[in-house]
Chains A and B, each alone.
Chain A
């Protein structure tokens, strides 16, 4: 693959905290290698800002290999940028060419208040999991792992839902800022396994209840969440969540 260098214009959201008004700030970066990752390009920008005595742009990131779910940039109008099933940290600069302008915003959702610049508070997701996204089993109570065979197809489907990294791109991509894909991924992961069966009704109702309490919007089956999900979590999970929820409500299960 041919490598090249490029000069870019960046329009980046700056905001001191959730209590301050934000604005776009324009930066120029030069000599960006096509082999860099998108975040390494931001490292270059921040090094330049530090050298100029200015405040670097705050952004969340950690593993830089697409699995921790911490990075979260809204790039040219798309959560995690243009590449399919790719987190921001795995997007590479060969996507861009010399002279491009790139607009970078934080996740925008009332339930994800801005902490600073591109960093948002996603603790609402933790509270949704705490409401029921688990199997209640204390350490030391388990039977032999192979005592209960599980249909491979079910196990694989469960795994596919469990690969959610909790990044929040689904919420950011949704015009309603709905968290249904996130919630449905967890409900599906556990509902597809026999171990998850005893708590399936309370899990669905409690997690939905918490999701509503956090102020996430409603799902209107637009599908932007699935399209932008870096892990390819399927909309089928939302259908399953709806079935789980309706089943729980109509069977009279309360939270």
Chain B
């Protein structure tokens, strides 16, 4: 199949405007007859479901949590980017577009990214109108801060809980549509299959996680807003329930998977403390606005951090990247931390951590406060105390979280941090309309591959999720559904639904009947270790080749020896998890295959064979300037399709933050 990205013709700045004014529409009477299924209720799903409900479509929304408000978007901390230029620091739609393309190491589509930058300003307007309480200045206007990979202040935030506030805004909009009867909500439901009729996505099979019963649901279109697959690594900053299942089922029904190996390893997370660890916790990138990252200059330095004098500290990001300093993009910061730790300069008991130090911020803010309050001859303690108060207001919840997890007081000693899996840029391949290559099947937010290339910039995930849900899909869906207005709702006793339900049921029964010895958790941990060691921050051909075989063997073992307690027709979290891990065991292999074919380093994908003398990523635009879209062809069989990336406006160059 030829991949058609459907990017509209014309100059970059007018593509979306032209599309919007020429796309097909569905009239209100017809909208009432059209049913839409939305899977997932994070920022993308909740905003899409609410907007489509407002427009008059009949929407069914699904989430596996007990309430749509719990989706993992809620945990996003730092902020959301928008090209508002409220700070008058030279920001513009073009600059946000350019930063995102460059940050993604020139592996994203120009057309999609420009549209994202264009609608970013509308998102902030929309959220403020909904009552999202963003941080404000004393004059009553919105406040901004900086994030990695940019030189302007365009990030809007609500303390360290921006994702929570945005999601609550979208969730309230969704609940309003539920109360109006435009959206029907199915909580504690998990999608387990896409139903296709005549080649089009026409519904899903979902499992009621309380009763264990399978249900059939029809939709003229199906929107997957199911987030990323970072949990394939077992340890990640994702929620425990975050999974690839919906996207993977879609993939096996013919939807191509784009750039599966592009994973974001976030530089500032609380380090692993032991084998018991079930998840990793992020310390927002916004902390790099005020925190300085360092390790001792001396190997295996046993002194306490505050006993190490200034001249014996190596602020390695400031040293290596003077132009961006501590605010280099995530992939760069993560690799730099790994490099220092691998070289033996790491800190803490595991030696796999670096310091994130706020001492200079306490002092700097303290002096500002002293001046503001007109305190003459303030002593050091007063300056420190006032500085701490300022930092507390900005990041208090993050400092509290750090203290609870580690038992250390980050106001007294520097935080210890280490990179961890955070986000997946890869996902279902979609065209400009966010539709996969399966007609009627869409992917929004982190579930698609489209906007972040090989590395996502901080505060851009929230932007993309809401852009897709509020401002893109409401237009693009109509353009396709306009041709579908004559299609009546298909009854769910149609043979395609019956067969799909049977397939799902057979798979669950097969899994339950293994009655082996090893727990689901144990298999997940073993998969995670293979992925982290061989398909993590550094990858090489030898490791990837080994990983593919190891994953195949592990998958075989899983299907022969997994033990799932309980019953199928009941509330059974072990069974839910087993299905998700079974899918991760297939996805992991594809990620390694993808990483192995991409013989270059770009963004979060760092192939050790391809680096410059000073350890920077070495891209190969000649050979790899394409989206790798993988087609499922049967067990362990994947065919690569290439969508070439044509840059019409931006000139690609070696990405430098020096």
Q: Which residues of A contact B (CB under 8 A)?
A: 1, 17, 33, 35-37, 39-40, 43-44, 47, 49-51, 53-56, 58, 60-70, 83, 85-86, 90-92, 94, 115-116, 119, 121-123, 125-126, 129-131, 133-146, 148-152, 155-156, 158-159, 162-163, 165-166, 189-190, 193, 195-196
Contacts and interface: CB of A to CB of B under 8 A. Distances in A.
A125 B276 contact: no
B131 A139 contact: no
B89 to A, nearest CB: 15
Given A65-B282, A126-B67, A195-B131, 4 more contacts: A47-B522, A62-B240, A70-B66, A129-B175
A47 B161 contact: no
A149 B159 CA distance: 18
B278 A39 contact: yes
Interface string B235-246: 001011100000
Interface stretch (B132-140, B504-512, B542-550): B132-140
A146 B142 contact: yes
B405 interface: yes
A56 B572 CA distance: 9
A150 B129 contact: no
Contacts of A51: 519
A161 to B, nearest CB: 9
A92 to B, nearest CB: 6
Nearest to B273: A35
B136 A142 contact: no
Interface residues of B, number: 83
B278 A37 contact: yes
B401 A58 contact: no
Contacts of A54: 565
Contact of B126 (A43, A140, A159): A140
Interface in B268-282: 273-274, 276-279, 281-282
B67 A122 contact: yes
B131 A196 contact: yes
A53 to B, nearest CB: 7
Contact of B519 (A47, A60, A195): A47
B403 to A, nearest CB: 10
A94 B407 contact: yes
Nearest to B52: A139
B51 interface: yes
A159 B278 contact: no
- The list of the 3 closest CB pairs from A to B, nearest first, reads A149-B140, A134-B172, A142-B125
Interface of B: 47, 50-51, 54, 65-70, 72, 74-75, 84, 86, 122, 124-131, 133-142, 158-159, 161, 163-165, 168, 171-173, 175-176, 178-179, 185, 187, 210, 237, 239-241, 273-274, 276-279, 281-282, 400-401, 404-408, 470-471, 474, 519, 521-522, 563, 565-566, 570-571, 573-574
Given A62-B72, A152-B137, A159 B165 contact: yes
Nearest to B132: A162
A70 to B, nearest CB: 5
A154 to B, nearest CB: 9
A58 B522 CA distance: 18
A117 to B, nearest CB: 9
Contacts of A123: 66-67, 187
Given A50-B565, A135-B129, A139-B126, A63 B74 contact: yes
Nearest to A138: B54
B519 A139 contact: no
Given A140-B126, A152-B140, A92 B519 contact: no
Given A62-B72, A135-B131, A142-B125, A151 B140 contact: yes
A195 B130 contact: yes
Secondary structure of the A contact surface, majority rule? loop
A51 B521 CA distance: 11
A116 B573 CA distance: 11
6 contacts: A36-B274, A37-B405, A65-B281, A90-B401, A126-B67, A155-B133
A58 B189 CA distance: 17
Nearest to A69: B70
Contacts of A196: 131
B68 to A, nearest CB: 7
Quick one: which of A125, A129, A189 has the most chain B CB within 10 A? A129
A10 to B, nearest CB: 16
Contacts of A49: 565
A41 B463 CA distance: 36
**Interface-central residue, A60, A63, A126, by most chain B CB under 10 Å:** A63
B551 to A, nearest CB: 22
B75 A143 contact: no
Given A92-B407, A130-B175, A139-B50, A159 B140 contact: no
A47 B165 CA distance: 35
A53 B565 contact: yes
Contacts of A70: 65-66, 70
A13 to B, nearest CB: 15
Contact of A43 (B86, B164, B278): B278
Contact of B122 (A142, A163, A190): A142
A29 B133 CA distance: 44
A142 B140 contact: no
A157 to B, nearest CB: 9
Max chain A CB contacts within 10 Å: which of B139, B158, B277, B279? B279
B159 A134 contact: no
A43 B574 CA distance: 11
A67 B161 contact: yes
Contact of A55 (B47, B158, B210, B565): B565
Contacts of A55: 565-566
Contacts of B570: 116
A81 B422 CA distance: 29
Nearest to B172: A134
